[in-house]
Each structure stands twice: as C-alpha cells, then as structure tokens.
Amino acid sequence: MNPSRQSHPSSFKLSLIAMGFAALAACDTGPAVITSARPLNDSDQSGPALQMVQPELVGMDTERLNRVTQAMQEYVDAGQLAGVVTMAARDNKIVHFEAVGQRDIAAADPLATDDIFRIYSMSKPITGVAMMILYEEGKFKLSDPVEKYIPEFANLQVAAGEDANGNIITEPPAHKMTIRELMSHTGGLSYGLFSQSKVDDMYNEVNLLDPNSTLQDMIDKLAQIPLRQQPGSTWHYSVSVDVQGYLVEKLSGQKFGDFLEELIFKPLNMIDTDFYVPEEKADRLAQVYGYGPDVALVAQEGFGGANNYLVDQTFESGGGGLVGTAMDYMRFAQMILNGGELDGVRILAPLTVEIMHRNQMPKSVPGIGLGARGTTFGLDFAIIEDPVEAESYSKGEFYWGGAAGTWFWIDPVEDLVFVGMIQQFGGAVPVPDVRGKSRQMVYQAILEPKQ
C-alpha cells in the first residue's frame, strides 16, 4: 500500500441534483491501487479526535472490515468505477480509511485518500448547519414565514392547474412557506427535473441556478414563479437549500462562502472544502466520469461542463456547490455525531443538532419518496425511522449523498460515521450500489454492538 499524498493547508444548471440519483458508468480501468491512511496506532486512545486505531479497540473486526475495501476494489476491477475512497469512524476514532483505483485513468494517477471530490448535494447538510448557527443566535424561528426575511416571496402563488390554453392557473397558498418547510423540502419549491409541470418548465426557461448569476438573481427569478404545490402538502426535492444559502447571507450580513469559511471550515480544520479548487491543489481534483456509447468510462465534467471548479464561483450553491475531501467531510460529520463539537471546538449546541435529525415533516406527509422507504426528513438530513423498511440497521441513522455518487451516513446508536467518495455519473447501466454494499460490509464488522 502506498501512503496518501500530504494534504495542503490552507448556476449550477438545473440538472445538477437529478444526477445525484443517476446510474454509474463502467469501463476497464486497469489495475487498481490501494492507498491507505497513516499507519495504525494501537495505543493512542487520547489526544485529538479521529485518530487511526485498530478496529478491535472500538468493538470491530479488522478482517471483516477489510471487506469494505475488497468490495470497492471489485467495482474498480469490473470497470464500473474509476476509484473509490472510503472512511469509517467509531467512538470518535478512525477504523478504516482506504483509496482504491485511480484519480485519473488516462494519466494512470492512483487515487489517494486526500484527493478532492465534487460533493454536490452533500453541501446541503453543511448549509443546514450554517442556518442553525444563525438559529442559535436568535436570527429566526423555524415557524417564521420565509417572506419575513425574503420579502420578494411575499406574493408567491401556488400552481393549481392549467386553463384551456395551457396557461398556469394559480391560487393563494393555504399558509405562507415557513423556514421549517424550506429546510425539509416541504415548502412548495421544485428543481425543474424531478417532475414534469409548468412550474418545472419555468425553472428551466429562466435557468434558475445559472452559474454565472448570483444568489440574488436566483431569488428574483423564483419570486416570479408560482410554487409547484401547497406548502406543507408533500416532500419534493428542490432548490430550497440554495435559498437557505441566500438566507445565510441576509441574516448574517456576510457572503455565504465567507460565513462557511469563518464559522465551519476553519474551526473544523476542513482545509480543502470550498466552492472551487485553487491552482496549488488542482492536481488533487479527481476526474469525474460518465458513460460512452460502448458503456465505457468517459472523462467528462457533469452537467455539460457548466461549472469550472478550478476558478472561483460566482454562484455559491448551498444546495450543491462544494468540493472537498473524505477527511474534511468526516470531520464535519463527526462534529454532528458529537452533538456539535470536535476537538474542543463547538459549532452547535447538542440540542440544536438533535433538532436537525428529528423528523420535521408535517404529520400528513409520510415519507420522502425517491424509493427511500421507512425514511423521513429533518433539517437538511434524511432520517431512517424504520430500519426494516429502509433495509438498514439503526433507527435514527441520518444521511445524504451527492450527484456524482458521494455518500455518507451518521449512526448515533452505534456511534458510527461513514463517508464514501466517487466521481461517477450514470448512464445506460445500473448504478453500483456502493451505499448499500458499504453499509453491509461495515455493520457485519461490528462485533460489539451498542444496542
């Protein structure tokens, strides 16, 4: 195994999020390389969080846990993925941190554990934490109407059908969209791709998440488009988290990216997370792949190349704009599992974090759809309410994923965090179920369960 490279200190098109559920492509990537984190330290049970330890010290089995790496290696060997980074922590200690495959197939560049990935919708929980920092400062209540802080939304109507000429018929909202609804995708907004409607067509016509526009431009466009459905009536994946990014700016008086850097990234030592990759780190940005006509992996930027991640972004998308490493996201997720604190740095209070992974959906809305059975939604996290229905292990596990295949989950019952990174868009063949496979391999390695 080769050591990982040393880490360096330091609009979107509307199709952006739809690809989060697309299938993954496949081709022959050649021999895969496994790149490990620093050597294991059997005795270090003190000191900073997220130190590497033998799995047995936290009730897991090394040989069984190696099945995670073996499973990811099989996807690479089969030509289904270029490379994968996986990372697991239990009891605040890292027990698994591996990279298999290649960062760039054409360059024959092995993937390393500190390579940088487009995390797309895994930006959403980070934006949610930014919102809750402001919540703790008393800047808003979850029950507040969004229009209290975004007056452009004061006259929003709701689509109620079409007339004989195909024009939208609107009606007033039964109640004003609340911030709770905005943060749980039940506010009536849409994305432009998950459903076919006149409202979705309007999102596309105005290029709502234009990467060359600003968050204010997005708000001005949204203010002219009716809601797709009544607030509180259903869960519908949407641009809600990009609106939250705008709210962070309005409530804090800071640029969204500056707020994230000052209050989340810098305190948590998330040294590689940003809206772009600076020149000195460009050689660590993993190549993203799609399918060619022969079902081979083809290097291509997602969404028609709408975003150049090597230049600073004008549109700072809270819903899908960030890049980062597995370690950076692990530090964020471990902070959440710890109740808002990591290495003595507190970002949120424990009860505030608990609000985020508590079901916030209206009682009349049973679940989130998207094939996610037994699942509800909190504030920018999905929550496993019924592990049997969800084919999972722990009630209360919460998670999300990104458009290019990145995924994570947090399990408060087993004191466990898992982060997985790939850069793969779908196409003509089924998506390798990296999320499901990794979950199986991790939980069968737990020999001392906590429940």
d(CA 423, CA 84): 8
**Stated pTM of the model:** 0.90
Do the Cβ atoms of 275 and 315 come closer than 8 Å? no
Domains of the chain in sequence order? 2-128+255-443 (3.40.710.10)
In the block, which residue shows the tokens 């009349």? Answer: 364
End-to-end CA distance of the chain: 35
pLDDT by residue for the chain (451 residues), tens digit each? Answer: 333 444 433 333 444 334 443 332 333 333 333 333 333 333 334 578 999 999 999 999 999 999 999 999 999 999 999 999 999 999 999 999 999 999 999 999 999 999 999 999 999 999 999 999 999 999 999 999 999 999 999 999 999 999 999 899 999 999 999 999 999 999 999 998 777 899 999 999 999 999 999 999 999 999 999 999 999 999 999 999 999 999 999 999 999 999 999 999 999 999 999 999 999 999 999 999 987 888 789 898 877 666 789 999 999 999 999 999 999 999 999 999 999 999 999 999 999 999 999 999 999 999 998 789 999 999 999 999 999 999 999 999 999 999 999 999 999 999 999 999 999 998 777 679 999 999 999 999 999 999 8
Residue 90 pairs in a beta bridge with: 93, 416
Question: To 10 degrees, the CA torsion angle through 4, 7, 12, 18?
Answer: 30
In the block, which residue shows the tokens 């920092």? Answer: 133
User: And the tokens for 216?
Assistant: 């204010």
In the block, which residue shows the tokens 């994946």? Answer: 237
- Residue 162 half-sphere exposure, CB side, CA atoms within 13 Å? 7
